Amino acid sequence: MSAAAVACGTTDHGGQQGTSPPGVASGDASTVRTTVYFLVDEGHASIGVRRTVEPVPPAQGSRVRAALAALLEGPLPAEEEVGLTTALPADVRLESLSFRGRGGMEAVIQLSGLPPVHEAPVLLKVRVITQVARTVIGVSSIQRIWLRADGKPWDLIDMEGRVVDRPTDYERLLGFWIGTAEAGTGTVVGDYFKALP
């Protein structure tokens, strides 16, 4: 597999269960195509990878669950060979998924296995939030996500040391352009991440 085979795209096209999105052939009527987001360029950016998933009807959010399952499985070996990685720890699991807001367009995603929110580095947080948000937004008309761990918000920390409790949508992702200084310097950029191109 070459890097050119990895492409960005939207997720669920909103078709009925058992149909393929326009222009996408499916060998099985029970499968749909979706896009999951991993990291590329040494973790400095996210990139979408197409997956064929099998939603399990009739549970609400079956397509969202299937997309999250593909994300949590991580990159395939061939994708790892061309540099794709993930910020999600290997033991992260989906504990629950619920919906809120008008028309259920907000997904509340409860994960287990994430590091404690006050101990996780900010770059890890923005990478994880970005991967989950970009994978889920667009699937079954989801417009924003709320990320939870142990029943509490898992997000950035504000200036008062409180965990931010707000949804993530594409407008928020635009602000996820974050870097840290190289050790021993105050100005030389070391690690960095940009959520959107």
Among 101, 186, 194, CA closest to 140: 101
- Helix (H/G/I), strand (E/B), else coil: 47: strand
Give the length of the chain.
197
Range of the domain at 177: 3-194
How do 93-100 and 106-112 pair as beta strands? Answer: antiparallel
Q: pTM value? A: 0.82
Tens of pLDDT, residues 98-128: 999 988 999 999 999 999 999 999 999 999 9
Instruction: List CB contacts of 58: < 8 A, sequence separation 6 or more.
Output: none
Residue 84 pLDDT greater than 60, yes or no: yes
- Structure-token match 């939207």, residue found: 10
How do 45-53 and 32-40 pair as beta strands? Answer: antiparallel
Structural domains counted in the chain = 1
Rounded CA-CA distance 74/72 in Å is 5
Rounded CA-CA distance 24/42 in Å is 30
Angle subtended by helix axes 122-136 and 62-73, to nearest 10: 140
In one-letter notation, the amino acid at residue 68 is: L
Query: What pLDDT does residue 18 have?
Result: 32
Tens of pLDDT, residues 155-164: 999 999 999 9
